[in-house]
Amino acid sequence: MESMSSSQGAMPLESDTVFVQSQTFAPLSARRLLLLGGMGLILVGMIFGDIFAVFVLHQNAARVGASLAAASHAALGGDSAAVVKNFQNVGSFLENRGTKVDTHVHIIAFGYVALMLALLVPWMTLSATTKKRLAWLLLCGAGLLPLCVFLIHYVGLAYSPLQAIGWASIFADLGGLLVIVALAGFLYGLVKRFLSAERAPVEDELLAGSSATGRSLLAGGSFLVLLGFLHGTYYAAVDLYRHEALDYAILSQISVGAAGENTTAVESALAAYGRLQGDKAVNIAAHAHIIEFGLLAMLLAYFQPYVNLRAAWKQRWAVVLLLGSVLLPVCVLLELNYGLVAGGLADIAGLLVIVAMLAMWIGILRYTGKLDAGGAT
């Protein structure tokens, strides 16, 4: 690939001009672990989210709708056993979906936490060894918790010593505890520094430097967050309370129709309820994704000096990331009107973000290799 190649006659990389043998990015340093690990977590979470959206999300929603419809028709026929069975199926489908969503959300959120901590490492009054151990602890917990949450639906309560909590939940809690301990350690380092009367000023090349790519990501990320806030404000002002009222009204219509054995009313209400839930889902998903992508772009802006790619390619990958970050939430909003076409475009947009992040991650790996080689090209 052109972006990954180099030759003696080629123009120097932009990152060559800012290359510093920094102790904060030394081999297996806390900053390096947190940066590469955090980006890796976000990449895994995004890939999982794309797979989930294509192969699970819509199919699961269809099963929930079918089971809810079957329960309503069973109520019309007075078959209480079938009603209970179908609602149990709904619960199982929702648990399956919920654990997948929780896995996706947690692994990406932990990635954001790792990136933020990577920025703050120089301000922590801790030894390099302690910082590194805390970084490993955080990353281990950040990997363990989402994996175990994913397994909750499949493991259940099998061989569990507890009546209500299975082994997957127990180990997920353990992963959360590891993250909490690591965060407490990092927080202690920050507080210790800021309470110290003799603290020396910290000079960090990341925050001191500036590049066109970094400025593009910072500006683009800020704009994405602003768009997300504006969309959230509009939804809260125009649709939120209307949706809540419709929720109650439609469920009441289903109950009344079932009690009165009015099949037409029940089917009409079920269709309306499905549309309502879809409308709520796409608005919430679009709102969350555009803000998350904005925050991601802003965080990545600070780490551009570590991306060892040509300046032109760094700028291109930044544009690809921002383009996908805008396209995905827009296409999610259009799914109600354009169905699978908009859904497919949203998945492609997610893939653009993944590819751009992967390119930056590879660039950072190249930079770390240069550090380990003592600055040799």
Condensed to tens digits (0 to 9), the pLDDT of residues 311-326 reads: 999 999 999 999 999 9
Better pLDDT: 315 or 71:
315
Q: What does the pLDDT average to over 337-348? A: 91
Give the CA distances from residue 306 to residues 90, 125, 274, 301, 314, in Å, rounded to whole numbers and listed in that order.
48, 23, 47, 10, 11
Is the model's pLDDT at 295 over the cut of 80? Answer: yes
Q: What is the mean pLDDT of the chain?
A: 88
Better pLDDT: 55 or 279:
279
Percentage of residues in the chain having pLDDT higher than 90: 61
Percentage of residues in the chain having pLDDT higher than 70: 90
Is the model's pLDDT at 85 over the cut of 60? Answer: yes
pLDDT at 371: 61
Is the model's pLDDT at 374 over the cut of 70? Answer: no
pLDDT at 57: 82
The answer to whether the beta carbons of residues 279 and 243 sit under 8 Å apart is: yes
Tokens for 6, please give them: 């180099």
Better pLDDT: 159 or 361:
361
pTM for the model stands at 0.86
User: Which region among 21-35, 55-69, 248-262 has the lowest average model confidence (pLDDT)?
Assistant: 21-35
Is the model's pLDDT at 48 over the cut of 50? Answer: yes
Tokens for 355, please give them: 């590819």
Is the model's pLDDT at 232 over the cut of 60? Answer: yes
DSSP class per residue in 271-313? HHHHHHHHHHHHHHHHHHHHHHHHHHHHHHHHTGGG--S-HHH
Of the pLDDT bands very low, low, confident and very high (cuts 50, 70, 90), residue 298 is very high
pLDDT at 186: 97
Of the pLDDT bands very low, low, confident and very high (cuts 50, 70, 90), residue 115 is very high
154 vs 1: CA distance, rounded Å: 41
Residue in 9, 26, 34 with CA at minimum distance from that of residue 302: 34
The answer to whether the beta carbons of residues 314 and 307 sit under 8 Å apart is: yes
Q: What does the pLDDT average to over 261-276? A: 89
pLDDT at 239: 94
Is the model's pLDDT at 375 over the cut of 90? Answer: no
Is the model's pLDDT at 305 over the cut of 50? Answer: yes
pLDDT tens, residue by residue, 172-207: 999 999 999 999 999 999 999 989 877 777 777 777
Q: What does the pLDDT average to over 285-309? A: 95
175 vs 41: CA distance, rounded Å: 14
If you average pLDDT over each of 127-141, 146-160, 359-373, which comes out highest? 127-141
Of the pLDDT bands very low, low, confident and very high (cuts 50, 70, 90), residue 73 is confident
Map out the domains of the chain with their CATH numbers.
23-208 (no CATH), 211-377 (1.20.120)
